[in-house]
């Protein structure tokens, strides 16, 4: 499956297994940068690691310092390889811009992306290639 007409937020490309959630993420309070794990027991992705993943989530919420948390993931080697948002927010965009993590926004009416699929995000081309 190819999803085209994605909006480039941060350029570049990245590949990995998809990690999909419909819940927003507070990067400061919910993610351990040393492991890349989601530490909030109430979150759908609890105990899942962002490391090397293609993170598919709606947008970030909460602390403005979440941008540094995303940058920290890069420094600890636990960052996702690419990020796909339904509506990228300022925290995600700025954190990923400094961490060089490609980010795209999904176009309206995009098909659902399956959990754990192999996916490649090509931000400059505005394209996500999902292999089953």
Partner 1 sequence: MELARDEEEALAGKKGKALASAYRILVAIGEATGAKKFVPIKWAHVSGVNYNTIGDAGAQFLDEFSRTAKVAVKTTVNPMGYDRNHPEGIPEKFQEKQTSIVKSYERIGVTPSFTCTPYEVFDIPDKGTAVSFAESNAAVFSNSLLGLRTNKESALSALASSVTGKAPLSDLRLDEARNPKVGIEANFRFGSELHYGLLGYFAGKVVKDSSVAFSGISRPSTIEAKALSAAIGTSGSCGMFTVGRGRGEKISFGKKEAKAVMEELSTAEDGDIITLGSPQLGLNELDFLAKLTEGKKFSKRCMIFCSRAIYGQAAKVGLTGKLERSGAEIMCDSCTCLTPYVTKDKYDSVVSNSVKGAYYLNNSNKVKVALKDIRTIAKVCTE
**C-beta closer to partner 1: residue 61 or 117:** 61
Active site residue 63: yes
Q: Tokens at residue 44, please?
A: 């759908």
Residue 20 φ/ψ region, left for φ over 0, alpha for ψ in the -120 to 50 degree band, beta for the rest: beta
Which segment (20-28, 49-57, 114-122, 124-132) binds partner 1 by CB under 8 A?
20-28
Smallest distance, partner 1 to C-beta of residue 47, A: 15
**CB-based burial, 91-111: b 16+ in 10 Å, e otherwise:** bbbbbbbebebbbbbbeeeee
Q: Tokens at residue 62, please?
A: 């909460």
**CA 113, CA 18: separation in Å to the nearest integer?**
8
- Angle CA(23)–CA(42)–CA(45) in degrees, nearest 5? 55
**C-beta closer to partner 1: residue 17 or 90:** 90
Which of 15, 35, 37, 40 lies at the binding interface for partner 1 (CB under 8 A)? 40
Which of 12, 52, 62, 126 lies at the binding interface for partner 1 (CB under 8 A)? 62
Sites of contact with partner 1 (CB under 8 A): 7-10, 24, 26, 28-30, 33, 40, 42, 59-68, 71-72, 74-76, 87-98, 103, 105
């Amino acid at each position: 499956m190819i999803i085209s007409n994605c909006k480039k937020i941060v350029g570049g490309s990245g590949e990995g297994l998809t990690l999909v959630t419909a819940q927003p993420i507070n990067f400061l309070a919910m993610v351990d940068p040393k492991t890349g794990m989601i530490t909030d027991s109430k979150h759908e992705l609890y105990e899942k690691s962002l490391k090397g993943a293609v993170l598919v989530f709606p947008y970030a919420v909460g602390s403005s310092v979440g941008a540094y948390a995303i940058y920290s993931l890069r420094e600890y080697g636990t960052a996702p390889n690419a990020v796909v948002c339904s509506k990228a927010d300022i925290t995600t965009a700025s954190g990923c811009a400094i961490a060089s993590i490609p980010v795209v926004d999904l176009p309206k009416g995009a098909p659902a992306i399956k959990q754990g699929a192999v996916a490649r995000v090509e931000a400059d081309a505005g394209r996500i290639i999902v292999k089953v």
